[in-house]
Chains A and B, each alone.
Chain A
Amino acid sequence: MPGRGDRGGEKRKPKDAKGTLIRIVKYLSEYVWVVVILVILSFLSNLGNLLGPRLAGKAIGATEAGAGHVDMSIVLHYAILMLVFYLGGSILNFLANIGMTRVGRKIARNMRRDVFAKLMKLPVGFFDRNQAGDIISRVSYDIDVVSMSLSMDVIQILTSVVTVVGSFLMMLIISPPLILCMIFTIPVSILFTRRMSRKTRPLYAKRSAAYGVMNGFAEEMFTGQKTILAYANEDTITERFSKINRNAAEAYRNADSLGMQMGPTVGMINNFGLAAIGVGGAILYMFRIIGLEQISSFVLYSRKFSGPINEISNIVNEIFSALAAAERVFQLLDEPEEVADLYGAVALENCRGQVEAKNVSFGYLPEKTILHDLNLEAKPGETVAIVGPTGAGKTTIINLLMRFYDVNDGQILVDGADVRRYTMQSLRRSFAMVLQDTWVFRGTIFDNIAYGKEGATMEEVVEAAKAARIHSYIMRLPQGYHTVISEDGGNISKGQKQLLTIARAMLYNTRMLILDEATSNVDTNTEQQVQKAIRSLMKGKTCFVIAHRLSTIQNADKILVVDHGDVVEQGNHETLMAERGFYYKLYASQFE
């Protein structure tokens, strides 16, 4: 399927390794003192491990006296001292490890926290463009990669730096000429690593993106699993997944087989250095510039010098994949947010419920205008019904009222002021709504109904449920209001979900109410009861009702007939019927 594979990969910004690194460091900086302490701990533990052999050497030195002359008390003294240092080293090492593990996990937690907070701030359109699975993949996979790398690699690198610099200085002191033999390895290693990183980093970025695409696809298909089974389509879908899966697997192979060249290659450069020391040392020795002793200890330090470099180069691929993963997380964090409140925006308080739209035009895409020149007025307590054929732009009007989107032109006024002059939260809090797509979450029925009103009491919830005519159904459940609904309300029908969301809106006492095809999935018996309940709920509220069943909106004060984004007729049921226009035709069609 062409084009399918590269969704999610759209509009990748140019890679900026430094920026990504700096942002990771920012997360680390919150724990800067912990990290400093951990580095000191692990440095001390290394020290313990270094001193151990020296003490052991002293203990052994005491045995040089030969059979029958060994002073066991000295041996014991040093052996115990050695043990103390070793044990101390191990304990410190353990502490440093778990400390860094904690820091890594906490940073992961903070990243997840920030991602979620960001999701809350993104405009609703973002979620129509990005697969849930891809977003989840950033939290479950990408952040995990970053956290693992932080836990494992940071301490190792920081402590290695000490060892590397220290042993380099020691070598310099022992024999500056000899160091010239191996000094070439440093720039060569650095140049090589830089060149490789330029090649591998895009591959790791591709790898992360490919996982995102794969996870997005899997999430979508698992969500629609029943439909896929119903159409016996599972083989085709599995076949399609196979392509995406192969892409991901290959992206992984491409990135890692190149990334894992780095370790052995840097190792080779280091080994060249060792060979050069051997040969160079021999030549210097022949010219009597240095002695054997010096060469020996130089070699010891050169091994201390190259050891950590080898180790680090072996985990360089981990670091690169962590950078790529972090980049995807930061990319999400950089998405443009929902428009912020204007400077000086005020909270909408004691809302009266006066709503007005003036010359509003709007389109989701700039070149495709959906609403052309919308005008409407709703006085406090009035009911405005919006009718029209499917796709005429009814839901769009609601989107604008709630400021899920902002108008392109014209303005919408609540209580006489432009909605953009209010804070977003206070504006939205002034509306209660029951939407076309009902939504429940995993939690008790009580929680689901009380959702709109913090601190709602059981009495209030029961009352709302009774008003929504779902109380008796709830009471039939073994745990009543404490019954847990699974995610997406998998086990309850759409109609029951709708009743729950109506109960939720009942509890959420506001001056304005939006009903978007609220009763379309409820059977007619229930619908009539709900209608009664809703009518009492609507009392004193400014209401916007979208319904295809014209019977449900006959009592509206004002009916807006929308077609192709224009208000083609406006009036109440009687006047519109008398006009014998579009509304009349729509109404009559029910009886055909």
Chain B
Amino acid sequence: MKLIFRHLKRYSKWVALAILIKLFGTLVELALPYILEHIIDYVVPAGALLPVILWGGLMFVAAVLCRFINVKANELAVNNAHKISYNIRQELFAKTANLSGNQFDSFGLPSLISRMTSDSYNVQSAVQQLQTMCVRAPIMLIGGVTVSLFMDAHLALIMILMLPVLIAVVIAISAKGMPMFVKVQEKLDNIVRVMRENITGIRVVKALSKSDYETRRFAAANTDMTKQDIAAATMMAMPGPFMQMCLNTGLALVVIIGAGRVNNGLMKPGVILSFLTYFNMISMGVMGISRIFMSLSKANASANRIDAVIGTHTDQQILSEQEAATPSGEGFVRFEHVDFSYGGEAAPGDESGFAGHEREKALSDISFTIRKGESLGIIGPTGCGKTTIINLLMRFYDADAGGIFVDGRDVRSYDKDELRKKFGVVFQNDMIFQDTLRENIVFGRAVGEKEIRSAVEDSMAAPFVDGLENGLDYEAAIKGANLSGGQKQRILVARALAASPEILVLDDSSSALDYRTDAAMRKAISEHHSESTVIMIAQRISSVMNLTKILVLDNGKCIGYGTHEELMQSCESYRETYTAQMGAIE
């Protein structure tokens, strides 16, 4: 709820205006039937035509006025809601785009998606309803109570005594309902997750004819959510009838006690009668309020989920010069005794398991140094921590111990973008976005046509790009589905090269390329990007053997570091791999 109010505040004037106008409109609306009653009770019996027409005209005018006011109020309310929901979504998106690796993992992608798609919508509806629906009901409630209070304080007391009980119950129920709606949204996360898994893995699902199995899996998630949703909605359907019951009991008491008072000559029977009318009004107000409660507690649950994302504090502080560590030697990229394990500070609700639970060290005591323009190869078996080095170097995660330095400065002392702008990188599971090839390469940076061209040539993408009808304006399908694996990798490398980065990181980025293309690409990079410091993760020694230094990893530990020749001497595992790979080619 804090989230909603924080954003309402910005437009508080406009929201207040909308509510005020709505208030006015509602009053006119409520007044209309009384004008009619007045006509029937007093004007008609008089039998004069002119007053009747005048009063009728007044009603006509009031009706037009009422419409005009209410339309304006609704417009204003919708307008406010549209601005506020825009802001909330914008804030949510920007925050999500900036979450650190740990934070992103702990929310989980499906949940972040459903916060964006479903929760933000729930909040938007509530903001609109707060301004339109929340006026009429309270007016009826408060108006009814006030008028009846003036009519006979004793009788009104019965209701007033009842109010605290009602309020307590409503608060208690909505306090119970809110967490239930949170659960509903969490179940929705599951639905989103199963759907995403099936959309991304549709070929496997079809290939293995697992449609029935997947349908069952989805049905489980679906039923689960439906049950939770029904439970939550049932809970929230209770306050309305309950309040009505209380009020009706009160009404019965009013009649009985009122009759007693009439009997004692303390009041007239007519008062009880008009009490009934106002009771009706109060009860309508109560019903309205319970409806509002239902949608508010749902919105509240969603608002809290959004706030959980927006409210995450940046877990990676930018250190000042005094706080930052200083390197104990020179070198452009430098690791000093780095330790790291994933899931450092698992946020509540994290159930991603895996690395999170075990806290097995992903890296321990890793050190290396590369000078400007030099290159480093990282090699080692699957899952040994090669990619983790990149994650730390680019500060997606912070190291548990040790120091990481780029250009003589602690990576933690860089402004985030300042650090990452030095890089051009291709990740292992990198993304082609649904956009033109050109936009995929430029990727929001100020890159000129000339740079694009040379990047496309160096990445060996030129032959196939030129073969396309629209060349670089070719529209890549979702996740690059209309490109082959090798084509995707070449476009990704072109993206990395386009801005002539100070540090070029290629994480297994040529696995789908044939040897010739791979070799030609590496040659072009070393010739045309000699200024760049290169870090290359690879499976084949032939890809890294010509680099300045090679780091051999096994299970998060460094088991060899040096040039190809040195490693052939000193590192048994490296030598074995080399012989094996060369043997495989022969």
Smallest CB gap from B272: residue in A: A60
DSSP majority for the A interface? helix
Alpha-carbon distance A460/B436, docked complex (angstroms): 46
Contact A220 B355 (CB under 8 A): no
Contact B199 A299 (CB under 8 A): no
Stretch at the interface among A32-40, A164-172, A256-264: A256-264
A141 and B256 in contact (CB under 8 A), knowing A94-B238, A592-B519?
A: no
Q: Does B110 contact A (CB under 8 A)?
A: yes
Question: Apart from A127-B481, A488-B109, what are 4 other A-B pairs with CB-CB below 8 Å?
Answer: A98-B233, A241-B93, A253-B79, A429-B208
Contact B259 A493 (CB under 8 A): no
A286 and B47 in contact (CB under 8 A), knowing A139-B191, A232-B417, A275-B59?
A: yes
Q: Does B434 contact A (CB under 8 A)?
A: yes
A521 and B60 in contact (CB under 8 A), knowing A486-B352, A488-B109?
A: no
Stretch at the interface among A352-360, A372-380, A389-397, A409-417: A389-397
Q: Does B369 contact A (CB under 8 A)?
A: no
Smallest CB gap from B100: residue in A: A229
Contact B263 A68 (CB under 8 A): yes
Alpha-carbon distance A526/B380, docked complex (angstroms): 10
Q: Does A499 contact B (CB under 8 A)?
A: yes
Query: Least Cβ distance of A291 to chain B in Å?
Result: 10
Report the interface size for chain A: residues with CB under 8 A from the other chain: 184
Contact B539 A521 (CB under 8 A): yes
Chain A residues within an 8 Å CB radius of B269: 60, 63-64, 66
Alpha-carbon distance A299/B81, docked complex (angstroms): 38
Query: Least Cβ distance of A289 to chain B in Å?
Result: 13
Contact B255 A295 (CB under 8 A): no
Interface centre among A245, A264, A272, by most chain B C-beta atoms within 10 angstroms, is A264
Contact B262 A67 (CB under 8 A): yes
Chain B residues within an 8 Å CB radius of A551: 584-585
Chain B residues within an 8 Å CB radius of A265: 67, 71
Interface residues of B in 185-237 (CB under 8 A from A): 188, 191-193, 195-211, 213-215, 218-219, 222-223, 225-226, 229-230, 233-234, 237
Contact B62 A271 (CB under 8 A): yes
Contact A63 B354 (CB under 8 A): no
Q: Mark A105-135, 1 if CB is under 8 A from B, else 0.
A: 1101100110011011100100111111101
Chain B residues within an 8 Å CB radius of A268: 63-64, 66-67
Alpha-carbon distance A488/B381, docked complex (angstroms): 21
A53 and B201 in contact (CB under 8 A), knowing A271-B66, A277-B36?
A: no
Contact B195 A229 (CB under 8 A): no
Alpha-carbon distance A451/B234, docked complex (angstroms): 38
Contact A220 B434 (CB under 8 A): yes
Chain B residues within an 8 Å CB radius of A141: 117-118, 121
Interface pairs (22), CB distance under 8 Å: A63-B269, A76-B256, A106-B226, A124-B206, A140-B118, A141-B118, A215-B113, A272-B63, A275-B60, A281-B40, A391-B484, A428-B206, A428-B207, A429-B208, A435-B207, A441-B197, A473-B383, A486-B352, A523-B379, A523-B382, A548-B515, A586-B516
Chain B residues within an 8 Å CB radius of A496: 382-383
Interface residues of A in 1-24 (CB under 8 A from B): 1, 4, 7
Chain B residues within an 8 Å CB radius of A437: 203
A429 and B83 in contact (CB under 8 A), knowing A139-B191, A478-B358, A523-B539?
A: no
Q: Mark B495-512, 1 if CB is under 8 A from A, else 0.
A: 100000000000010011
Query: Least Cβ distance of A147 to chain B in Å?
Result: 8
Contact A274 B382 (CB under 8 A): no
Q: Does B563 contact A (CB under 8 A)?
A: no
Q: Does B580 contact A (CB under 8 A)?
A: yes
Query: Least Cβ distance of A384 to chain B in Å?
Result: 18
Smallest CB gap from B429: residue in A: A494
Smallest CB gap from A87: residue in B: B245
A282 and B49 in contact (CB under 8 A), knowing A128-B478, A218-B93, A230-B420?
A: yes
Q: Does A267 contact B (CB under 8 A)?
A: yes
Smallest CB gap from B117: residue in A: A215
Q: Does A570 contact B (CB under 8 A)?
A: no
Alpha-carbon distance A77/B552, docked complex (angstroms): 93
Contact A487 B110 (CB under 8 A): yes
Query: Least Cβ distance of B464 to chain A in Å?
Result: 6
Alpha-carbon distance A454/B256, docked complex (angstroms): 71
Q: Does B357 contact A (CB under 8 A)?
A: yes
Query: Least Cβ distance of B84 to chain A in Å?
Result: 9
Q: Does B311 contact A (CB under 8 A)?
A: no
Interface residues of A in 40-64 (CB under 8 A from B): 52-53, 56-57, 59-60, 62-64
Interface centre among B99, B222, B481, by most chain A C-beta atoms within 10 angstroms, is B222
Contact B82 A249 (CB under 8 A): yes
Alpha-carbon distance A119/B568, docked complex (angstroms): 53
A215 and B342 in contact (CB under 8 A), knowing A72-B263, A105-B229, A435-B207?
A: no
Smallest CB gap from B97: residue in A: A234
Interface residues of B in 74-92 (CB under 8 A from A): 74-75, 77-79, 81-83, 85-86, 89-90
Q: Does A82 contact B (CB under 8 A)?
A: yes
Q: Does B443 contact A (CB under 8 A)?
A: yes
A278 and B97 in contact (CB under 8 A), knowing A98-B234, A268-B66?
A: no
Query: Least Cβ distance of A30 to chain B in Å?
Result: 14
Q: Does B12 contact A (CB under 8 A)?
A: no
Interface residues of B in 94-116 (CB under 8 A from A): 94, 96-99, 101, 104-105, 108-110, 112-114, 116
Chain B residues within an 8 Å CB radius of A286: 47, 49
A140 and B199 in contact (CB under 8 A), knowing A229-B396, A241-B93, A551-B585?
A: no
Contact A218 B514 (CB under 8 A): no
Contact A94 B237 (CB under 8 A): yes
Contact A589 B516 (CB under 8 A): yes
Alpha-carbon distance A391/B260, docked complex (angstroms): 94
Chain B residues within an 8 Å CB radius of A281: 39-40, 44
Contact B36 A93 (CB under 8 A): no
A275 and B63 in contact (CB under 8 A), knowing A260-B74, A548-B513?
A: yes
Chain A residues within an 8 Å CB radius of B55: 278
Query: Least Cβ distance of B522 to chain A in Å?
Result: 11
Select one of B210, B237, B255, B580 contacting A524, CB under 8 A: B580
Q: Does B329 contact A (CB under 8 A)?
A: no
Smallest CB gap from A72: residue in B: B259
A263 and B70 in contact (CB under 8 A), knowing A70-B263, A119-B198?
A: yes
Report the interface size for chain B: residues with CB under 8 A from the other chain: 187
Query: Least Cβ distance of B201 to chain A in Å?
Result: 4
Q: Mark A96-109, 1 if CB is under 8 A from B, else 0.
A: 01100110011011
Contact A66 B262 (CB under 8 A): yes
Chain A residues within an 8 Å CB radius of B262: 63, 66-67, 70
Contact A589 B514 (CB under 8 A): yes
Alpha-carbon distance A225/B255, docked complex (angstroms): 66
Chain A residues within an 8 Å CB radius of B352: 484, 486, 490-491
Contact A245 B486 (CB under 8 A): no
Q: Does A578 contact B (CB under 8 A)?
A: no
Q: Does B427 contact A (CB under 8 A)?
A: yes
Contact A234 B98 (CB under 8 A): yes
A230 and B233 in contact (CB under 8 A), knowing A53-B280, A56-B276?
A: no
A225 and B99 in contact (CB under 8 A), knowing A56-B251, A60-B269, A109-B226?
A: yes
Contact A63 B485 (CB under 8 A): no
Contact A274 B53 (CB under 8 A): no
Select one of A127, A488, A591 contacting B478, CB under 8 A: A127
Contact A131 B47 (CB under 8 A): no
Interface residues of B in 237-257 (CB under 8 A from A): 237-238, 240-241, 244-245, 248-249, 251-252, 255-256
A271 and B59 in contact (CB under 8 A), knowing A139-B195, A281-B44, A524-B539?
A: yes
Select one of A52, A549, A591 contacting B248, CB under 8 A: A52
Contact B445 A454 (CB under 8 A): no
Contact A441 B434 (CB under 8 A): no
Q: Does B52 contact A (CB under 8 A)?
A: yes
Select one of A136, A236, A490 contacting B105, CB under 8 A: A490
Interface residues of A in 77-101 (CB under 8 A from B): 78-80, 82-83, 86-87, 90-91, 93-94, 97-98, 101
